[in-house]
Structure 1
Amino acid sequence: MINQPLVFGHPVHQYTTVREFPIMNTFLQLGVEVFESQQAFEGGERALWQTSTSVMSVFKRGAPFMVIRNSGSRDAGHMTNNNEVTVHFRVILSHVLAYVLQFAAPTPPVVVMNNNSSRPTADFEYRNTKLRVVGVTGTTSTFGNGLLKVFVMKPDTAMLSDGVVLRLKNKPEVHNRMLLVVESQDRGLIQAEMRAQEFLVHHPIATFREEETKVLGRILRSGTMRVFGREVLGEAEFVLVCVLLVLREQEGRKNRGYGRPREMEGPGQHK
């Protein structure tokens, strides 16, 4: 196909496989387990990944917002060589927040830029592909949202993640037009800018849907991530899963009554 749009370096028409990853947790447990499928869970297979979070990240400067670990499942290797992904929180400006996801090499770090204006979204870029998460709530919202959608954006779309550079101490340095638009807090300007931006594909490449279904005893299926991918599981699907897990936790903390996390502390910084 001539001029076929690329997603993560591959033609978009190759993304025909849909995978659903159930999220399981026990009652009052903060972390979750992600399984390859409902059948894998029911068959007694180990989870692909486990997350750990701490309420201390609300109070303790420098505490990770989240850690995502390979649980040791043989299937986890199909998607990534990462054994541990560390996520930290950053305040960029009053209405712009960021999550820095640090993967093991060669997977590049991913910076998720949160627009907390009158029309909240989250932008990030991975493998020269621009992505936007719709459904996140702003910092003034009391309750979180249980439905998140990740869309691939057209390459010329103005994004909060444009030109983001990670400096020492994992501090994102940001200079782009959308940053100025969001910080202006001009509702009309923000709405006009968002309406002018277009999806490359009008169907989400990944979604998270919250659910509270009792599965077995104290184990709950608390949500499902649905991801479009290529025939073989790869790094891109893993990155999408990680971003959804981070934003799911952000939304869930609001419903649990926790405050937002503290900004991470880099080497050489002091309280």
Structure 2
Amino acid sequence: MLRSRPSEDSLATLCTSSTENDDVTSLFSSETLTAASYPIFNKPISSYTRIRELPLVVGQIKSDLQLFPSLGALKNGESPLFSIQSNKLHFFKKNSPLLTIFIHRDDSKSEFCKVYFKILRNNLTCYVLMFSKGEKVVLFNNALKPHSDSLFRNTKIRLVGASGASAFSNGSLRLLLLKPETPTLVDGLDYDSLDAAETIKDVDLSKNSSTPLFDSVVRQERTKVSNYLNNAKLVVEVPFASYTDHGDTKIEGVRVTGLVRLFESTIMGEEEKDIPEDSLIVVSMLITLVEQEIRKMRGSNKPSYVV
């Protein structure tokens, strides 16, 4: 059953146990105190006491996706939380978005985020997510050992499962939280310049500082890249967020393409129906990669970028 529910413990204190949701609610025991010292998106890790599950469906226009706040909302014919529209002609026009994510609130629809795609270097591409409120997030994609790295509100993120340059899709994606000392592809990014950018034309990612993982990917040093990835230090041992493809099967009588699941903070005292801003942004990052995987499943071309 899809649902949003409180967990019996917080993200920081959940211990390995036998439950119906071991994959989500089982974390670690011996490292609890260590993990508690790492804030997540500038919030205490102990505040992540809710698990939210959001069903994804392909819209009436097959190039579009809809993400619903709950299975109940989908079953009742309510408006989606997000509608994701792909721009198939983006490669004909420089600085055109690959995706536009719209948010639905109070029977109104407004732009929430535009997603741009860029080719950076050999084996390196990126997505630039520019949110309507001014926040910007960059996802660097490694084509050697497919994964994506990002930094969001002082927390390092690694998304694994996206099939990168491969023509084959993957129906399972995971978003992991990394400890600050873990090398990532975005360590050399000039965030002051990124924050100052008003449009995608102002985003210059060509002057990133040299970093070990970044350089190893560019040089195609597969062994070094594998070592960096294998030695990554996680804040917690299970995904903070995930996507699982359901192949348009029916759940409780409604067709579901896939399911997004994530931990959610309740520090602001939000009710269950209220989704915090950081959750919306994390979901946008995950859905950006999900859309590309679904595009492959349906035989569409991978994203491209015209310089």
What is the TM-score with the length of structure 2 in the denominator? 0.76
Counterparts of 1:113 and 1:188 in 2: how far apart (Å)?
19
Aligned to 2:14: none
Unaligned runs of 5+ in 2: 1-32
Structure 2 residue matching 1:10: 3-state secondary structure = coil
Q: Could you say if the C-alpha distance between residues 264 and 15 of structure 1 is closer, same or farther in structure 2, counting changes exceeding 3 Å? A: farther
1:187 aligns with 2:222: yes
| Secondary structure at 2:58 match in 1 | strand
CA-to-partner distance for each residue in 1:43-89, whole Å, 9 max, x for gaps?
2321111111132235544331100011234699xxxxx74211100
For the 8 Å contact 1:91–1:97, the answer to whether it is kept is: yes
Pair 1:262 & 2:285 matched: no
SS in structure 1 of the partner of residue 247 of structure 2? strand
What letter matches 1:240 in structure 2? V
In 2: Cα distance, 1:102 partner to 1:89 partner: 11
The CA distance in 1 between the partners of 2:108 and 2:279, in whole Å, is 13
1:69 and 2:102 aligned: yes
Range with greater deviation from structure 2 (29-38 or 169-178): 169-178
Q: Distance in 2 between matches of 1:240 and 1:264?
A: 27
Q: Deviations over 1:108-151 (max 9, x none)?
A: 2000000111x211001110000000101131x12111100000
Map of 1:201 onto structure 2: 236
State the one-letter code of the partner of 2:158: R
Alpha-carbon distance in 1 for matches of 2:306, 2:37: 40
Q: Deviations over 1:151-187 (max 9, x none)?
A: 0000111111113233653232422222101112122
Q: Which residue of 1 aligns with 2:187?
A: 162
Contact 2:216-2:222 within 8 A present in 1 as well: no
Partner of 1:249: 291
1:18 has 2:90 as partner: no
Q: Which amino acid aligns with 2:181?
A: D
Contact persistence 1:152–1:200 (CA under 8 A)? yes
Answer whether contact 1:61 1:262 (CA < 8 A) is retained: no
Q: Is residue 114–residue 131 contact of structure 2 (8 Å, CA) maintained in 1? A: yes
Could you tell me how far apart the structure 1 residues matched to 2:299 and 2:78 are?
33
Choose from 103, 107, 116 the match for 2:143: 116
Residues 181 and 189 of structure 1 are in contact (CA less than 8 Å); yes or no, is this contact kept in structure 2?
Answer: yes
Unpaired runs of 5+ residues, structure 1, are 77-81, 266-271
Specify which of 101, 114, 136 is matched with residue 162 of structure 2. 136
8 Å contact from structure 1 (residues 21, 225) kept in 2 = yes
Preserved contact between residue 92 and residue 306 of structure 2 (Cα < 8 Å): no
Matches of 1:95 and 1:148, distance apart in 2: 20
SS at structure 2 position matched to 1:63: coil
1:7 corresponding residue in structure 2? 40
Match of 1:222 in 2: 257
Shift of 1:260: 2.6
Shift of 1:27: 5.9
In 2, Cα distance between the equivalents of 1:193 and 1:161?
A: 14
- The letter of the residue matching 1:25 is V
Tell me, yes or no, if the aligned pair for 2:51 and 2:261 is still in contact at 8 Å.
yes
Q: What are the Cα deviations for residues 174-210 of structure 1, in whole angstroms up to 9, with x where unaligned?
A: 2222210111212211111112211111111100111
Distance 1:256 1:62, change over 3 A: farther
Matched, 1:145 2:145: no
Give the superposition deviation at 1:25. Answer: 2.1
User: Structure 2 vs 1, CA of residues 104 and 28 (structure 1 numbering), >3 Å: closer, same or farther?
Assistant: closer
Q: Which structure carries more relative contact order (alpha carbon 8 Å, separation 6+)?
A: 1
> TM (normalized to structure 1)?
0.86
